[in-house]
């Protein structure tokens, strides 16, 4: 197949590596890509957020499948434009992508579909925010309503900080004050063709910047998959996945279909396992980053077939995706100053040595070639991804590899998968 992948992060690099590892040979194109993606795909100069440009390119280049990585092209209507021209695309249209783009919309869909989630109050000014904080009580959860790259949420017991956070986002729209939910978090991905869903294997993301879940929320600083502790709680991973499929994914997909806005692409369920049952904290309309980097290396079948089946409405004929017993750990290297003000343009080295560690590869996020140098061009720079037979092995490989990489001021968490590595 000729496959076009839109995006430039480590998630897109992970998708491309999974496609490139298949027995069948694919011609893989990427826009805009990054320095690492350029090794594994043909990078083309194309604005991924321009529906007309992407559709024209896909048409004239006989693309068989377009895979949309990040949310921006979804929100820009790239999925709609491609589908209108009959080009198979993995990624929902603008309307269904509001599941991620608007927390108010997501809450409304969940309430209508009877999907368990925390109680939330919408507030349009500081007076309403204060009243909602008092009504729901501490710890306070304040969320920007629109897209904020994982940085729109604050969880704090400090009422002043909660009000300050609301005040930063109120000029651009309403905020949500949400009931605090306690428990471990799980990211579970579902492929959807608008009607049928197929779950992938669960992962856990580390959202906070610093060890021990300290510091501000980020896009994600590391992840691991699978989650062995699900067995204790639910009997098996399959039992957990079945429960979430029945209580969360299927009702939401049915609801969006009934509203005339079918969801075709990846439904990312961000879940908290509370004492009161599994509850949704957020939906995303795309693969998670960095969770994708640990889920896809464990997939035991061709990714292209699954994505094409979702894009062409034939997921019902596809069996539940199988995963290997290998475990995977990823650690994110971020630039100094991330997430507030990342320092960019610094040289990056040691990646070859890192990739010589057994079971390790590097997924690039914000990298570019500058003369003879590889440089970091953004907040999250790259992911070290390690697989192994158990978490102790995968984790030690990941940190061994990270030790070879140099980026002045670069930071990473040292506790990724520590709990499961024992």
Residue 410 binds what, of ligand GLY, ligand AMP, none (CB under 5 to 8 Å, by partner type)? none
Q: Are 285 and 278 in contact (CB under 8 A)?
A: no
Q: Decide: is 12 part of the binding site for ligand GLY (CB under 6 A).
A: no
Q: Decide: is 178 part of the binding site for ligand AMP (CB under 6 A).
A: yes
Measured distance CA(371)–CA(112) in Å, rounded: 55
Residue 291 binds what, of ligand GLY, ligand AMP, none (CB under 5 to 8 Å, by partner type)? ligand GLY
Q: Decide: is 379 part of the binding site for ligand GLY (CB under 6 A).
A: no
Residue 281 binds what, of ligand GLY, ligand AMP, none (CB under 5 to 8 Å, by partner type)? ligand AMP
15-to-10, 99, 310, 314 alpha-carbon distances in Å: 9, 22, 15, 21
Of residues 123 through 142, those in contact with ligand AMP by CB under 6 A are 141
Residue 289 binds what, of ligand GLY, ligand AMP, none (CB under 5 to 8 Å, by partner type)? ligand GLY
Here's the x/- map for ligand AMP, 66-95, by CB under 6 A: it reads as ------------------------------
Give the nearer residue to ligand GLY in terms of CB position, either 81 or 269. Answer: 269
Q: Which one of residues 284, 293, 367, 387 is an interface residue with ligand GLY (CB under 6 A)? A: 284
Of residues 212 through 231, those in contact with ligand GLY by CB under 6 A are 220
Measured distance CA(135)–CA(309) in Å, rounded: 46
Q: How far is the CB of 292 from ligand GLY (least distance, A)?
A: 8
Residue 185 binds what, of ligand AMP, ligand GLY, none (CB under 5 to 8 Å, by partner type)? ligand AMP
DSSP string, 252-277: HHHHHHHTT---EEEEEEEEEEETTE
Q: Enumerate residues 6+ apart whose C-beta is below 8 A from 3.
A: 19, 26, 27, 28, 29, 63, 64, 65, 66, 67, 304
Bridge partners of 266, per DSSP, are 191
Q: Provide the 8-state DSSP code for 411.
A: B
Q: Which two tokens stand for residue 371?
A: 């003369």
Q: How far is the CB of 150 from ligand GLY (least distance, A)?
A: 5
Q: Which one of residues 79, 150, 194, 339 is an interface residue with ligand AMP (CB under 6 A)? A: 150
Residue 105 binds what, of ligand GLY, ligand AMP, none (CB under 5 to 8 Å, by partner type)? none
Measured distance CA(212)–CA(380) in Å, rounded: 19
Q: Enumerate residues 6+ apart whose C-beta is below 8 A from 157.
A: 138, 139, 140
Here's the x/- map for ligand AMP, 268-307, by CB under 6 A: it reads as --x----------xx-------------------------
Q: Enumerate residues 6+ apart whose C-beta is below 8 A from 139.
A: 155, 156, 157, 180
Of 244, 139, 257, the residue nearest 193 (C-alpha) = 257
Q: How far is the CB of 241 from ligand AMP (least distance, A)?
A: 19
Q: Which two tokens stand for residue 422?
A: 């024992």
Q: At what angle do helices 10-20 and 303-311 cross, to 10 degrees?
A: 110
Here's the x/- map for ligand AMP, 195-224, by CB under 6 A: it reads as ------------x---------x-------
3-state secondary structure of 144: strand
Q: Which one of residues 105, 180, 229, 234 is an interface residue with ligand AMP (CB under 6 A)? A: 180
Residues found near ligand GLY in the complex (CB under 6 A): 150, 205, 220, 284, 288-289, 291
Binding footprint of ligand AMP on the chain (CB under 6 A)? 118, 141, 143, 150, 153, 155, 178-181, 185, 207, 217, 270, 281-282
């Amino acid at each position: 197949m000729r496959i076009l992948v839109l995006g430039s992060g480590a998630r897109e690099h992970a998708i491309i590596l999974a496609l490139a590892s298949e027995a069948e040979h694919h011609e893989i194109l990427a826009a805009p890509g990054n320095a690492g993606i350029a090794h594994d795909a043909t990078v083309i100069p194309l604005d991924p957020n321009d529906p007309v440009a992407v559709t024209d390119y896909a048409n004239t280049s006989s693309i068989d499948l377009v895979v949309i990585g990040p949310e921006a092209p979804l929100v820009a209507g790239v999925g709609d434009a491609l589908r209108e021209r009959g080009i198979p695309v993995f990624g929902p249209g603008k309307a269904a992508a509001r599941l991620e783009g608007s927390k108010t919309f997501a809450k409304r869909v969940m309430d209508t579909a009877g999907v368990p989630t925390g109680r939330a109050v919408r507030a349009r000014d500081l007076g309403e925010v204060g009243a909602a904080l008092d009504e729901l009580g501490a710890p306070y959860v304040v969320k920007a309503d629109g897209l904020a790259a994982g940085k729109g949420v604050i969880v704090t017991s400090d009422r002043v900080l909660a009000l300050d956070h609301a005040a930063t986002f109120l000029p651009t729209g309403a905020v949500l004050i949400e009931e605090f939910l306690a428990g471990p978090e799980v990211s579970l991905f579902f492929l959807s063709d608008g009607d049928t869903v197929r779950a992938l294997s669960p992962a856990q993301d580390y959202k906070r910047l610093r060890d021990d879940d300290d510091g501000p929320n980020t896009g994600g600083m590391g992840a691991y998959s699978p989650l062995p502790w699900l067995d204790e709680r639910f009997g098996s991973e399959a039992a957990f996945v079945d429960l979430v499929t029945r209580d969360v994914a299927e009702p939401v997909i049915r609801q969006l279909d009934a509203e005339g806005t079918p969801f075709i692409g990846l439904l990312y369920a961000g879940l908290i396992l509370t004492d009161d049952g599994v509850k949704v904290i957020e939906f995303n309309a795309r693969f998670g980053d960095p969770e994708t980097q640990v889920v896809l290396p464990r997939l035991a079948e061709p990714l292209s077939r699954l994505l094409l089946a979702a894009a062409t409405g034939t997921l019902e004929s596809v069996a539940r995706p199988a995963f290997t017993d290998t475990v995977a750990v990823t650690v994110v290297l971020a630039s100094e100053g991330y997430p507030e003000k990342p320092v960019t343009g610094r040289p990056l080295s040691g990646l070859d040595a890192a990739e010589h560690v057994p079971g390790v590869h590097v997924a690039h996020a914000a990298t570019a070639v500058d003369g003879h140098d590889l440089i970091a061009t953004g907040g999250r720079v790259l992911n070290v991804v390690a697989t192994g037979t158990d978490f102790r092995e995968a984790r030690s490989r990941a940190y061994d590899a990270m030790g070879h990489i140099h980026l002045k001021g670069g930071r990473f968490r040292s506790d990724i998968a520590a709990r499961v590595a024992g």
